[in-house]
Amino acid sequence: MRKRSYGRIILLGLAMLVITAPASYAALYEVQQDFSWWNSNTLNLGQFEPGSPMATHGSGPVAAVISFMYLQYLYPEVYGTHLVTNPWDAALTLASEPYMNTGWSGTWVRDCLWGQQLYIEDRLSGRTVYLGQAVPQGLYSESNPGGWTQTRDQPSWLTEGNPTWQFIVQELLQGKNVELSLRVGEGESYYVTATGISFDDRDGDLMVDDVEGARISFIDPATGLLSSSQIWQSGNGELLETDFASGCFITMAASEGPVPLPSTLVLVGSGALGLLGWRWPRRARR
């Protein structure tokens, strides 16, 4: 019998490598490790009174501001300070009717996507590429006020379907920012800015099993602090669930980045945007 041998591939930075071997092993490490671009006091988040639109209900605009600050830090030659000069003013502008139209019921995914893109294009037209995945929103009606409308229909860059961990990691590794929508039942969406995923795919099925201890890290707009939550799936292709709240699912993932992406990305943290390692055993032949 031959001794079991192991192969290992290390991929830095720019691409996702998907191994379909049944015994594959994956370890996805934190993508953003240097947070010098973010100061938790920048938005004076403690001044948001509980129950005000800029507290929980204002997570969409605040998460967008956090993401824009990241883009400005990583790509100053593209964005400068055109997206965010004063974080407080930017959040209030994003929450207004022309953009995200945020109210006491929060921000609909429809308005979050359209408002964020409109805000960016109003300030720097044609410099950003958009990509996303979201559960079906349906068409607008009295019973579905968050559905697509004639003026705000499904963007061509948005894929309808359950957001995947592969998509989130891929976009982060490409140096883009990623916003996530966390939703419980039919309640309002809560938005966070993703920073990385830690996932040990022990059985090699490329599914996030609840016993594998996968976690997603993000900046929580309610506190301005780096946080993390466990994520898992009930089956292949099912929604990613998180312990951020009971019965909470990731229902939207959207990314923005400069287009075209610089040929040499500014590397984050210790010098790499991310590290994706794969290892799989070759089973012994009898």
- Selection from 77, 9, 27, 38 nearest residue 195 by Cα: 38
pLDDT of residue 36: 72
Q: What architecture does CATH give domain 38-136+155-200+209-267?
A: Alpha-Beta Complex (3.90)
pLDDT digits (tens, 9 = 90+) for 268-282: 433 333 333 333 333
Instruction: Quote helix, strand, coil % in the chain, to nearest 5.
Output: 20, 30, 50
Q: Are the C-beta atoms of 11 and 276 separated by less than 8 Å?
A: yes
DSSP 142: T
Q: From CA 111, how far away is CA 103, in angstroms rounded?
A: 11
Determine the Cα–Cα distance for residues 208 and 205; give it in Å rounded to an integer: 8
CA-to-CA distance for 18 and 236, rounded, in angstroms? 15
The pLDDT score that the predictor gives to residue 176 is 94
Q: Judging by DSSP bridges, how do beta strands 190-200 and 177-184 pair with one another?
A: antiparallel
Instruction: Report pLDDT digits (tens) over 169-183.
Output: 999 989 999 999 999
How sure is the predictor about 149, in pLDDT bands with cuts at 50, 70 and 90? very high
Q: pLDDT higher for 24 or 35?
A: 35
Query: Which of the given ranges, 25-29, 42-46, 198-202, has the highest pLDDT on average?
Result: 198-202
Q: Is the predicted pLDDT of residue 147 greater than 50, yes or no? A: yes
- Average confidence (pLDDT) over 211-226: 87
